Chain A
Amino acid sequence: MIVDEAPAPPLARRPRRSRDAGWWLFMRVSGVLLAVLVLGHVLDRFLIHDVGDVDYDFVARRWRNPFWRLWDGALLGLGLAHGFHGLRIVVEDLVADPRRRLSALAAVAVVAGVTLALAAITVVGV
């Protein structure tokens, strides 16, 4: 490892190749949106109500209002996309061997897909 060059900027801020330019933007846009979505969610669950009171009836009543269904859907959808893409970046940074990296990324993609599908079915179907 050559150490006599200047240290690279933090990886979270290093510009990716242009193929990933969309992802770079997505992480930031979704991140800012999620900050609002999560803040509202936490205030609602822990301050306005009590998290212990959130049972099936609570959610069913909430989700009769499309606004809350959209909020929770966006929270889950954007959160999962943002989070799993972050996981992909971490895998690319830490796994050197190309074959191991491919398997790791494939595993991440599968778990991401399944979880996203589950979230979509839940928010739409309940």
Chain B
Amino acid sequence: MRRVAPERLEVYRGGPGLWAFLLHRITGLVLVAWVVMFTVEQSTLLLGADSHDRFRDVLTTVPFRLVELAVVVAALYHALNGLRLVAVDLWPAATARHRQLLQAQVAVFFAAAVPAAWIMLVRLFDA
């Protein structure tokens, strides 16, 4: 089975669609790593309240909560881009509006990410 990706990304001639795709992959990898970590953390529940809560005390420090914020933003991007992909899959004619879809996606992303980040940061520094 030959390798699918071309040797050089320049083959795709750049453009916002390529960035959307790359970010989708990068956020996806971040999210997989996160979900694995989260599963391990949840599994400490099996060890009982003390062990779990001690584990969580280590993991609710500021640096870790900032990582959580980054993951939430990554999930937001990945979900929005994924929904755009599904929309184009269901209505292939939407490809004609590719640029507008991407613009709408970016707009929704910032409209959601900025308040979410704000709220999370406020909560974090209130604690």
Contact = CB atoms under 8 A, between A and B. Distances in A.
Contacts of B17: 10
Given A1-B7, A10-B18, A46-B72, A56 B45 contact: yes
Interface of B: 1-8, 11-13, 17-18, 20-21, 24-25, 28-29, 31-32, 35-36, 38-40, 42-43, 45-46, 48-49, 52-53, 56, 60, 65, 68, 72, 75, 79, 82-83, 85-86, 88-89, 116, 119-120, 123, 127
Interface of A: 1, 3, 7-8, 10-13, 28, 31-32, 34-35, 38-39, 42, 46-47, 50-52, 54-57, 59-60, 76, 79-80, 83-84, 86-87, 90, 92-96, 98, 101, 111, 115, 118-119, 121-123, 125-126
Contacts of A101: 1
How would you classify the secondary structure of chain B's contact residues: helix, strand, loop or mixed?
Answer: helix
